[in-house]
Amino acid sequence: MKAFITGITGQDGSYLCELLLANGYEVHGLVRSPERAAAGHLRPLLQDPSIHNRRLFLHPGAIEDEPALGDLIARVAPEELYHFAGVSISRTHMQELAPLTEANGMIVTRLLDRLRRLPRPPRFVLASSSEVFGRPAECPQTEATPLAPVTPYGVGKGLAQLAVNCARATFGLPAASAILYNHESPRRGSGFVTTKIAEGAAAIKLGRARKLTLGNLRAERDWGWAPDYVEGMWRLARQGCGQDVILATGKLHTVEDFVRTAFAAVALDWRDHVETDPALVPGQEPARCCGNPARARTVLGWEAVVSFEELVRRLVEAALQRAQGR
């Protein structure tokens, strides 16, 4: 089997790369900078001569260069294509509607238009997001919950998901969206609150900081372990991409739950070290984002394995190791 991954150097892309290689795939990935890729999450794989340029191939390019990307995919001729590339959600991007809609939405529509013209289109899996539901009236959400995004990031992902639905229904393209709820790992970027909490708890434990400042501690999220979710996307591709599927734990936890568990992992009472700042609370915070994973269990035989408590412990442990240079 041969797979192509956009965004292969990110959290999800790198975990998927490892999973596919472990299952005998030949993996191709699009990278903006081979030099940066060599220093990132893929470094161990690229340093292995039995894998690099034998079963793992990185291609320099830009997701925005649709003609070149289309030609590359046609040459590689993968059976599966996973689309992770785009702009991740962060506070700095919350107000940038046009760039996020272009990066996370329009690029996908053009890519799908190119794929449907191939003699043998690959099975396509889009990494969508719970942000497409915005502030849903129902909890938990299902695949039938209306798309009603309230952030620029959600608008871009919603457009991409609608394009996948159109390509599947109108052109018969084997395409599906994995609607991903929050999923974490030590490879998560520094702009995410989970990373901030884990690194804050580690720094305070090591005596390198005294306080951690956060926004809304009552905000609720459905948090899972990233490698679990990557396996779900792989199962979705192998299943044949006949429908969109929510990947979630189905359990809500507050930011305060996360903080309490993180500080307990380093034997500290979070109330002695955490303060809040209203300025850090987003203007349009999605409410009660909890996904119903019933379809994933039924169709894919998938469910989240790593518990919330174990997830937080792993993040704090990894933060401690990074802080100590290990």
pLDDT of the residue at 285? 57
Structure tokens at 49: 């001569």
How large is the C-alpha radius of gyration of the chain? 20
- Average pLDDT on 271-296 reads 84
- From the centroid of its chain, how far is CA 241? 18
DSSP notation for 264-291: HTTT--GGGTEEE-GGGS-TT----B-B
Which tens digit of pLDDT belongs to each residue from 97-117?
887 888 888 999 999 999 999
* 2-183+225-247 and 185-221+252-290+305-323 share one fold: no
- Average pLDDT on 62-73 reads 93
Q: In which region does residue 134 sit, left (phi positive, over 0), alpha (psi from -120 to 50) or beta (all else)?
A: left
User: 127: burial class by Cβ within 10 Å (0-12, 13-18, 19+)?
Assistant: buried
Active-site annotation, residues: 129, 131, 153
| In the predicted structure, residue 319 carries a pLDDT above the cut 50 | yes
pLDDT band for 92, please (50, 70, 90 cuts).
very low
pTM: 0.94
pLDDT band for 94, please (50, 70, 90 cuts).
low
pLDDT band for 87, please (50, 70, 90 cuts).
confident
> Hey, which CATH number is domain 2-183+225-247, 3.40.47.10, 3.40.50.720, 3.40.630.30, 3.20.20.10?
3.40.50.720
DSSP-assigned letter for residue 92: G
pLDDT of the residue at 93? 47
- Which of 165-179, 198-212, 267-281, 303-317 bottoms out in mean pLDDT, i.e. has the lowest? 267-281
- From the centroid of its chain, how far is CA 138? 23
Which tens digit of pLDDT belongs to each residue from 291-300?
999 999 999 9
Which tens digit of pLDDT belongs to each residue from 154-199?
999 999 999 999 999 999 999 999 999 999 999 998 889 999 999 9
pLDDT of the residue at 282? 66
| In the predicted structure, residue 2 carries a pLDDT above the cut 50 | yes
- Average pLDDT on 300-316 reads 97
The yes/no answer on whether domain 185-221+252-290+305-323 falls in CATH 3.40.50.1700 is no
User: 128: burial class by Cβ within 10 Å (0-12, 13-18, 19+)?
Assistant: buried
Domain residue extents for the chain: 2-183+225-247, 185-221+252-290+305-323
Which tens digit of pLDDT belongs to each residue from 43-56?
999 999 999 999 99
Which tens digit of pLDDT belongs to each residue from 112-157?
999 999 999 999 999 999 999 999 989 999 999 999 998 888 999 9
Considering the chain, what is the average pLDDT of its residues?
93
Secondary structure (H, E, C), 284-310: CCCCCECECCHHHHHHHCCCCCCCHHH
pLDDT of the residue at 91? 46
Query: Would you say 45 and 56 are in contact if contact means Cβ atoms under 8 Å apart?
Result: yes
